[in-house]
Structure 1
């Protein structure tokens, strides 16, 4: 599914409002949130006013500060999903800067701990996350097309995996993760996320 420009703009506007609500709901100033996330005050202000879209990396830092998964945050700006999630209603979010496209195949739902995301990384895309939004998050990455390089952990404890078409990598996230598409073709994968 490719959402229309109007749909994408509405999701971006709701995301901007929700980011502001999360910050003010905790009684944090922009300066305090900047200190907690390492994202500049001016960037945070522009995000909350809807003047710019967050990158996947920035959104991950904000989710960690708010103790949200990225999927939960994005689900909060959409209509509550029904049990059946038709392909035409699966939301798509794009990080044009990093070359990442994220489809929420099975978004967070009350009473369920898991979700399914389809990710696509363009050739040369490189996403790095400082840590999980929720410590101990369980992830299963099933590559549908292409090849994905995944690094998990910090420093000497970092492990790197080459995950090819049909392969599945599974782990719990406690530290840094990095996803790279080093091939000449995009990589498309299913990401199954389970809350601890």
Structure 2
């Protein structure tokens, strides 16, 4: 079996991180929120938010999930806003990749970044032992389809727990907490289809 991490080419993290930091600062200013107010709304400390907005640190998947929730965006929408153009076609070698090394999560935006569309496709990879929890969805009622390409993953939505293996597909509407856990022994690679309500 091939190395899963080899499936994702390297990206330009400096450009993505700088653009993300700038976009996060812009969103806070658009809402006329102080760092203290955003910290209150997200549960992320003021100093951490400040360092993220200055591109001194990268947000974890959990932190980015909290920010997306308060700004009413999916993670793909937020990352697409970092892009200056909205192409119809994005070749595999230039698809945007975001890595959260701390949690062991790699996310590839497969769909061309376009505003106004309701669906998007994302490829996710979780290392063995990776455990990512989200307190709330970025948009309540978000429809998600998770199709496992390789490995196993445990998905928790609300009070429901699903163990998925290669080839399995789970569909649900996200209304509350969720959790993605890779029990191993190998990494899991999956396709996530997101449909806005």
TM-score, normalised to structure 1's length?
0.94
Q: Distance in 2 between matches of 1:146 and 1:57?
A: 22
> What are the residue-to-residue correspondences of 1:1-196 with 2, within 5 Å?
1-4=8-11, 7-153=12-158, 158-196=159-197
TM-score normalised to the size of structure 2? Answer: 0.94
List structure 1 segments (4+ residues) > 6 angstroms apart after TM superposition.
none
Q: Deviations over 1:69-118 (max 9, x none)?
A: 11100001123332222101211000000000000001441332000000
Runs of at least 5 residues in structure 1 that lack an aligned partner in the other structure: none
CA contact (8 A) 1:3 1:91 kept: no
Q: Could you list the per-position Cα deviations for residues 116-174 of structure 1 after superposition, in whole angstroms to 9, with x for gaps in the alignment?
A: 00000000000100010001000000000001100110xxxx01001110010000000
- In 2, the alpha carbon distance for the partners of 1:78 and 1:148 equals 30
Q: How far, CA to CA, are the matches of 1:60 and 1:119 in structure 2? A: 15
Moved more, 28-37 or 99-108: 99-108
Who is 2:5 aligned against?
none
- Residues 145 and 172 of structure 2 are in contact (CA less than 8 Å); yes or no, is this contact kept in structure 1? yes
CA distance in 1, matches of 2:84, 2:116: 17
- Secondary structure, counterpart of 1:36 in structure 2: helix
